[in-house]
C-alpha cells in the first residue's frame, strides 16, 4: 500500500491501532468492561456469551454504570448548590433513550424524567412514574399531549411559544383547572448562547425553532403571558443551549443570562420565579481523544457562577434543574455486531481500505450520517493480530453513506463471524433507530452482576407486518 498517500488522521489511527486493541480506554467504555484473554466482558459476561444468547445487532447497557451516572449528576449538583441553600432537580432527558426499565432506574436513583411526546409519556406512565417527577417539552405539543400531561399531574410543562402558552391555559381550563390547582409551566428561552462539540457562539438573535428570545422583550412577554393566566403557575424559565458540550464557559454565560432575566421580571412585575432550568448538553467521550465533561467540577463552577452573579444583581439563587440525557446513558452502552463481508478496496491514491460490513448500520446508529459523529470500536471476541489494517466499518443498508466509523484500525486478521463492539452508543442510537430497508430494530439488553436481561426485545417480522394492512 502507498502509505505516503494516507491522510495524517489515517496515519495516526493506523499507528495507534494495534496498541489500543490490548487495552480499554476507561473513559469511553462502560465501567464494568474488562478484557479477558483479549475478549471483551461486561458486568462479568463475555460478549460471545451475550451474542450466543441474544444475537446481533444488540445494544448492551451496563445497568450499574447507568445508575452511577444518574447518581453522579444528582449528588454532584445537590452537593454544589447545598451551601447556597437551594435544591437541584435532575431530569433525565428521555429522548436520549427511554424504556420502562430505564425510567424506573432513573427515578430509583433520585432523578425525574423529561419527555417531549405522547409516546414518551406513555412509557413513563407504563413505568408507573409519579406525575410530579415528569416534565413535558416540545415545540409543537398537541392538545392530546397537553391534556395527557395535565391529567397525569406532570411536574411541569415547558411552553415554547406565546400561542402555546394560551393553548395550555385553554386546555387547563377545559379540564376544569383553576387558580386553586393551577398547572405548573416553564417558558423555554433562547439566551443567544449556542454550544456543541468544542466551540460555543453567542449571538443576539436566534434563527431556530425553539424558545423565545431575550432580544426584543419576547422572553419577558412570554413570562408575563403565563402570569396573566390564573390557571397557570409560572414555575420558571428554561434554557437548553446545545449538545455534546465539553467546556463550562457556555453554561456559565447561560446561567448569568437566566438570572438576569429572572431579576428583570421581578423588577417589572414583583414576581420572583421559584426555579430556573439550565438544560442538558453535557459532553461525553466517544473516542479516546475526547475529554468528557467533569460533572462534579462543572456543578461547582455553575454554583459559584450563580452565587456571584446573584450577589452582583442583588438577588437570590432559585431552585435549579438540569436535563442531562447523553451524559447519563451514552457511555453506559455498547452495540454488538457480527462481521459479514470483508472487502479490501484500493483507492485512487493507492491506499488500501478494508471495508468491514456489519449486520446493522444507519438504522441503529444514524449519528455518523446525521452529524458526522465519531465512534470507536474493537474486535470483541478475541485478541486479534497485533498488525492493523485501515478499516471502514459499514452497515448493510442500500446507501453508500451507511458508515458507522469512517476510519479505524482493526486487527489484520479480522474475519467473517467476528464480533465488533462499538462504544458509547447509549444516547440517540436505539432512540433514533429506524426500519430503513425494513430491517428489524435491535433489542436492548441490560447486564448486571453476571446476569443479562432483555428490556426491549428484538423486533420481529410479525411486528413489521402487523402495521402493513395490505
Ligand X SMILES: *Cc1c(COP(=O)(O)O)cnc(C)c1O
If one asks whether residue 367 binds ligand X (CB under 6 A), the answer comes out as no
User: Which range of residues in 166-174, 179-187, 274-282, 368-376 is near ligand X by CB under 6 A?
Assistant: 274-282
Considering the rule CB under 6 A, would residue 74 count as an interface residue with ligand X? no
Q: Respond yes or no: is residue 116 known to be catalytic.
A: no
- Contact status: 187 vs ligand X (CB under 6 A): no
Selection from 346, 344, 356, 364 nearest residue 416 by Cα: 356
Options 69, 112, 137, 430; binder of ligand X; rule CB under 6 A: 137
The residue from 29, 282, 337, 375 that contacts ligand X (CB under 6 A) is 282
Q: Look up residue 322 and give its three cell numbers.
A: 438540569
- Choosing from 180, 204, 398, 467, which is the catalytic residue? 398
Q: Does 325 bind ligand X (CB under 6 A)?
A: yes
Stretch that binds ligand X, among 89-97, 199-207, 305-313, 347-355 (CB under 6 A): 89-97
> Distance between CA atoms of 160 and 248, rounded to whole angstroms?
25
For residue 93, state whether it binds ligand X (rule: CB under 6 A): yes
Nearer to ligand X by Cβ, of 58 and 96: the residue is 96
Regarding 211 and contact with ligand X (CB under 6 A), the answer is no
Contacts of 388 (CB under 8 A, 6+ apart): 14, 17, 18, 21, 409, 410, 411, 412
Q: Which is nearer to ligand X, 137 or 256 (CB)?
A: 137
Q: Which of 432, 324, 421 is nearest to 371 (CA)?
A: 432
3-class SS shares of the chain: helix, strand, coil, % to 5: 35, 25, 35
Per-residue cell: 424: 458509547
**Contact between 281 and ligand X (CB under 6 A)?**
yes
Burial of 398 (0-12, 13-18, 19+ CB in 10 A): exposed
Distance in Å, CB of 300 to ligand X, minimum: 19
Nearest residue to 356 via CA among 273, 414, 433, 292: 414
Q: How many Å separate Cα 163 from the centre of its chain? A: 28
Cis peptide before 57 (omega within 30 of 0): yes
Of 150, 151, 69, which Cα lies nearest the Cα of 110? 69
Q: Under the criterion CB under 6 A, does residue 155 sit at the interface with ligand X? A: no
Instruction: Select 290 or 407, whichever has its Cβ closest to ligand X.
Output: 290
Using CB under 6 A as the binding rule, the residues of this chain from 421 to 460 that contact ligand X are 427
- List C-alpha distances in Å: 21 to 200, 351, 377, 382, 394: 34, 22, 10, 10, 20
Element (H, E) at 61: strand 58-62
SS3 at position 415 = coil
Task: Select from 24-32, 279-287, 384-392, 454-462 the region that touches ligand X (CB under 6 A).
Answer: 279-287
CB of 138 to ligand X, least distance (A): 9
Which position among 279, 395, 442, 443 is part of the footprint of ligand X (CB under 6 A)? 279
Q: Of 41, 58, 96, 425, which lies in the binding site for ligand X, with binding defined by CB under 6 A?
A: 96
Q: Does 138 bind ligand X (CB under 6 A)?
A: no
Query: Residue 171's closest CA among 144, 138, 140?
Result: 144
Q: Cβ 428 to ligand X, closest distance in Å?
A: 7
Query: Smallest gap, in angstroms, from Cβ of residue 330 to ligand X?
Result: 8
Instruction: Give the H/E segment covering residue 88.
Output: strand 88-93
Interface residue with ligand X among 76, 99, 161, 243 (CB under 6 A) is 243
> Residue 176 class from Cβ within 10 Å (0-12 exposed, 13-18 middle, 19+ buried)?
exposed
* Residues β-bridged to residue 158: 186
How many residues belong to the site for ligand X (CB under 6 A)?
Answer: 16
Contact string (CB under 6 A) for ligand X, positions 212-241, x = contact: ----------------------------x-
From the CB of 141, what's the least distance to ligand X, in Å?
13
Residue closer to ligand X, measured from CB, 240 or 367: 240
We find the least distance from the C-beta atom of residue 195 to ligand X, in angstroms, to be 10
CB 260 within 8 A of CB 348: no
The single residue among 94, 192, 318, 324 that binds ligand X, judged by CB under 6 A, is: 324
C-beta separation of 370 from 389 below 8 A:
no
Interacting residue ranges for ligand X, rule: CB under 6 A: 93, 95-96, 137, 240, 243, 279-282, 323-327, 427
Kindly list the catalytic residues: 398
Amino acid at each position: 500500500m502507498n502509505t505516503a498517500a494516507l491522510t495524517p488522521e489515517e496515519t495516526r489511527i493506523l499507528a495507534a491501532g494495534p496498541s489500543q486493541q490490548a487495552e480499554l480506554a476507561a473513559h469511553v467504555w462502560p465501567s464494568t468492561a474488562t478484557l479477558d484473554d483479549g475478549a471483551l466482558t461486561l458486568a462479568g459476561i463475555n460478549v460471545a456469551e451475550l451474542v450466543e444468547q441474544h444475537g446481533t445487532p444488540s445494544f448492551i447497557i451496563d445497568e450499574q454504570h447507568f445508575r452511577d451516572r444518574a447518581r453522579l449528576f444528582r449528588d454532584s449538583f445537590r452537593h454544589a448548590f447545598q451551601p447556597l441553600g437551594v435544591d437541584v432537580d435532575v431530569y433525565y432527558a428521555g429522548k436520549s433513550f427511554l424504556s420502562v426499565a430505564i425510567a424506573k432506574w432513573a427515578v430509583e436513583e433520585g432523578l425525574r424524567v423529561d419527555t417531549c411526546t405522547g409516546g414518551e409519556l406513555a412509557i413513563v406512565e407504563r413505568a408507573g412514574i409519579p406525575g410530579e417527577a415528569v416534565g413535558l417539552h416540545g415545540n409543537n405539543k398537541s392538545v392530546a399531549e397537553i391534556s395527557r400531561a395535565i391529567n397525569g399531574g406532570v411536574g411541569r410543562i415547558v411552553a415554547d411559544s406565546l400561542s402555546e402558552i394560551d393553548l395550555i391555559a385553554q386546555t387547563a381550563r377545559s379540564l376544569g383547572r383553576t387558580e386553586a390547582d393551577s398547572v405548573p409551566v416553564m417558558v423555554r428561552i433562547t439566551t443567544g448562547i449556542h454550544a456543541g462539540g468544542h466551540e460555543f457562539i453567542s449571538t443576539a438573535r436566534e434563527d431556530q425553532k425553539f424558545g423565545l428570545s431575550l432580544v426584543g422583550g419576547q422572553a419577558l412577554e412570554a413570562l408575563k403571558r403565563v402570569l396573566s393566566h390564573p390557571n397557570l403557575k409560572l414555575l420558571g424559565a428554561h434554557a437548553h443551549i446545545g449538545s455534546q458540550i465539553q467546556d463550562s464557559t457556555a453554561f456559565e454565560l447561560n446561567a448569568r443570562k437566566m438570572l438576569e432575566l429572572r431579576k428583570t421580571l421581578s423588577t417589572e412585575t414583583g414576581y420572583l420565579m421559584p426555579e430556573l432550568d439550565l438544560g442538558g448538553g453535557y459532553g461525553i467521550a466517544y473516542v479516546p481523544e475526547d475529554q468528557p465533561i467533569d460533572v462534579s467540577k462543572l456543578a461547582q463552577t455553575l454554583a459559584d457562577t450563580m452565587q456571584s452573579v446573584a450577589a452582583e444583581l442583588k438577588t437570590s439563587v432559585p431552585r435549579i434543574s438540569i436535563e442531562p440525557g447523553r451524559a447519563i446513558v451514552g457511555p453506559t452502552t455498547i452495540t454488538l455486531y457480527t462481521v459479514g463481508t470483508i472487502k479490501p478496496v484500493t483507492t485512487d491514491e493507492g491506499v488500501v481500505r478494508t471495508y468491514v460490513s456489519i449486520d446493522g448500520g444507519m438504522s441503529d446508529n444514524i449519528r455518523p450520517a446525521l452529524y458526522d459523529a465519531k465512534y470507536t470500536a474493537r474486535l470483541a471476541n478475541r485478541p486479534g493480530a497485533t498488525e492493523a489494517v485501515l478499516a471502514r466499518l459499514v452497515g448493510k443498508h442500500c446507501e453508500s453513506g451507511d458508515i458507522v466509523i469512517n476510519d479505524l484500525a482493526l486487527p489484520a486478521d479480522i474475519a467473517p463471524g467476528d464480533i465488533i463492539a462499538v462504544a458509547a452508543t447509549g444516547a440517540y442510537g436505539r432512540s433514533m433507530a429506524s426500519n430503513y430497508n425494513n430491517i428489524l430494530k435491535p433489542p436492548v439488553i441490560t447486564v448486571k452482576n453476571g446476569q443479562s436481561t432483555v428490556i426491549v426485545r428484538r423486533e420481529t417480522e410479525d411486528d413489521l407486518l402487523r402495521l402493513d394492512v395490505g
